[in-house]
Structure 1
């Protein structure tokens, strides 16, 4: 009965978001499931007067202001369904789930077109692409003689009117983009890219999303020793009361008994379940690799897991199963290392 009410609540929430932002997420089962799982403990916290503080709320309000404003309409639903008043801190967490779903639904591509078109031809091509392929929101035109691929690493698609000597999966050759064959070729290239994005998406199911929190994610972290790294990560968890003051000591105790490096520059330390109040995964992407026992490490996953209920055990087993896919190649690890902020990495994990 409780779950049915929560499912109905999330359905209403997504309809409110749709009506305000004109973005329909009502059929997105992934965001629906992740919100249901997230809102179970949220409602409990609000009911018993222990709402979470969100250290990122100012950033969220500034960067995702439209979604944040729309999400405030949800506060009325909390009062209607549960007789509870939601805080802006808790709204902030909901915003991140919705923002990630919107970005997943509306991925926009930056494109550079390499040609010798004159100004009039360039404008015609630009309007044709904007009308026919709305996913492309930026088009830069460069002459064939001036184009250097190294200058356009941040672009998603390279359209060229003639064959090029460079080998790059972003390049699509379209001699005449103004005809229907040209647009069909571009459309097929984009569909292939979208398929690759789905294949390369992070493997975590919504059941595991609750294990991640931006407050426990560190990018470009500058440390010299594993002790320093683990202290910073453990303290962040302790300050949010997801672990006890004994957690760091339990982590170091395990480190003294066995190595936690698992290859490819990744370490997977963990503490004692008895020192954990709420299961969470801390992540650190180090600015520079450090020596961790006898191996260089640059990516650290700190596991704070408790095993008190059947649901917790099931979720943690699922995490281990799906985690393997996240780090099973150099390409995927480089993707993690390229993340510029904790918010960016968090959204990547929950997309």
Structure 2
């Protein structure tokens, strides 16, 4: 019988007042989740500008100041306070190291016994976990009592859960007088659990097991499980990333938990394995059986094997990388013809693409579905690289089974983006920097390339390593290192550190610039070259997506910039992937560059536009008409689009513009700020 998460929760909540406090999220470090988040942002950054904190939480600078004061009311009794430095931002000052460390240590277990149910997403995730893990009916009364909601709200949650389950070939059976129950295959339940219940936050996910993850597996000693898997991985000389290792641990914990509760997988795919993999698999299964008192059948061994292959750096089927050489050559030919970036002589790019493609297609042969947890970040932070990857791969890999999903295209975009960044000339650096990234070689390579592009005349990357490898370094290994750039929070770091996002946001580059005494850049605004009065419209009445696209295409065609086929190409591109950059801003464009010049047709809407399933509030539409091979203008244009995406105030200024002249002046001022 599978364990009943809802019953377990209701039985342990004897004190209803405390339970509701947890549901509201009030039992937190500083009494409110937002205060906790602000404190974490400040303590893990060199400086945190008020504007950045305000943007992160959708509040005003004044509210930030008020929140900081409330945090300091708590910290003042524990040897620390948050101060502000003019022109830099907020930073943590520790006066009594021991008192402060005791405070942090004492709060680590706070609320560990209860899930956070303070948001609708949290409650849906809790319910999804409960329903996936149960093999019997869950009554509506049980569910409502567990998450403290009324009948109408619960019915809304159930509808959303039905939609989620449908994506995994699962169904929610409703039976009068009994409640609800999930129907479907065990392997589909597990896929849904890993995708929708486990929180794979890129910064914290790789740092051990969180309280939330411990609650997901209350009957498993996760520390023992990790020691077993890590020991056999090292003994078998199998290499993986921090992220891949954590994924494998979570899949293994899920397997053990489901076997313990009598819910094994029914079947699994056969896969060829090397002697190293067989050694790892057999040793791991033997020790798991002994530690947890279970029996791992052949189907479960196959399940574990697939996730070993999916999350480690192995040549899974011995596929010859050279099989895809002609495809890579064709892909790079599309890139140079359509976008003007000649990457055909980049040996590193070719090598990376060959390795990635062989890995991807061998995974597809094994029916391994690899999600890209950074897809949304890649699309929004590297739109040009993503667009180049999407357009080129859709032309070269257009026949099953050799096609690429949007998740897989995201990884190709990282390699192409890194190659584009490498093309920028660099002077000899002065400062040695250690880069810590727990998300794998492709992401580390992209981040390293961006760092060197921005700061190549000031820094050299002394080493690029995982979080675990960094923790094992001694002082001698860090000699002459100026500072650490990391995507993972590092406590007690022996060197100055800058915590950055994988996408290396504008705020991140500003922080690094200050540490390097700033970098002066000169740029010339080319805004006026892209926008014309005849390509600008303000739509006051409600309009549909198709209507807006037709209007903008007509404007471009009337100016001789595009022809009649442009609209169909735009719609073809829309069918491949969402073109929204953020909730307010969309950048539709054709699948391939085909315009006589690079221009932008603009529509500003008074009424929100339902653009796609996840973007229903679009009010700024930039229809891009790109000339094939126009590399310089394409690069500049996408930099401008990125600056609009990252600046919510600029978006509101654009929407408030009084005609084309005012609109152009707003964009020009923004360009001058970056000059």
Q: Above 0.5 in TM-score?
A: no
Give the TM-score range, shorter chain.
0.3 to 0.5
TM-score, normalised relative to structure 1: 0.39
Would you tell me which structure has more strand in proportion to its own residues?
Answer: 1
TM-score, normalised relative to structure 2: 0.21
For the pair shown, which has the larger CA radius of gyration, 1 or 2?
Answer: 2
